């Protein structure tokens, strides 16, 4: 596709339910990132996938959060037993590989707005 797409655009769920968020990166982008954006705050890094390497999960806030990516395609972010503090916009981005002194622009999707009641 032309850009990064995410679904759903909005998700309202009840506390304690599991949710699954989807990200379709730009074709050919080997790197994929998930971020969380709470109201009035900047982005918090959650997880980073690069090709077939082990993902960098250092930003996941708890073991209720997990993410998967098969190869260089779609990624899903799963939040189990959702809590009200999980309410935020979840952003996905993709890029060509970035490492060391090189930086390739991250292209962001429109995000999924998650509301936990």
Partner 1 sequence: AQSVTQLDSHVSVSEGTPVLLRCNYSSSYSPSLFWYVQHPNKGLQLLLKYTSAATLVKGINGFEAEFKKSETSFHLTKPSAHMSDAAEYFCVVRARSGSARQLTFGSGTQLTVLP
The binding site for partner 1 (CB under 8 A) comprises 3-4, 31, 33, 40-45, 48, 50, 56, 58-59, 91, 93, 98-101, 103, 105-111
Residue closer to partner 1 (CB basis): 14 or 52: 52
Largest Cα–Cα separation, the chain: 43
Residue closer to partner 1 (CB basis): 17 or 98: 98
| End-to-end CA, the chain | 33
CA nearest to 83, candidates 68, 61, 101, 103 = 61
Residue closer to partner 1 (CB basis): 46 or 116: 46
């Amino acid at each position: 596709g032309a850009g990064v797409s995410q679904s759903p655009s909005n998700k309202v769920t009840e506390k304690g339910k599991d949710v699954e968020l989807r990200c379709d990166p730009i074709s050919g982008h080997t790197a994929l990132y998930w971020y969380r954006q709470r109201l009035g705050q900047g982005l918090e890094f959650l997880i980073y996938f690069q090709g077939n390497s082990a993902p960098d999960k250092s930003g996941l806030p708890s073991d209720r959060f997990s993410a998967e990516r098969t190869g260089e395609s779609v990624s899903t972010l799963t939040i189990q037993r959702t809590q009200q503090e999980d309410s935020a916009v979840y952003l996905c981005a993709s890029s060509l590989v970035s490492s060391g002194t090189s930086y390739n622009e991250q292209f962001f999707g429109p995000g999924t707005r998650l509301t936990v009641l």
